[in-house]
Amino acid sequence: MSHATFFGDEATQLEATPALAIERGEKLHRPPALVFQGDRDQWTTVAQAEQLAARHRARHSGSAVPGRARRRAA
């Protein structure tokens, strides 16, 4: 299933993005979260993941814990 099949269009996909909902300050049920991000992801940076964790933590009292993936030995 592609994102287009699930969301229908890009506007709906953006509306459903947790990071943007938190940024908009929407009142959402936010359970504790573990946020981790590898440094080889071409779409999401480690800084973006850290920012998401910080915003989540600010609105949910310390419930998002940022972490980093370790690189595997070649």
Q: Return the bridge partners of 68, or none.
A: 37
For 18-55, write each residue's pLDDT tens digit: 778 878 888 777 677 788 888 898 888 888 888 888 88
In angstroms, what is the C-alpha Rg of the chain? 14
Predicted confidence at residue 48, as pLDDT, reads 86
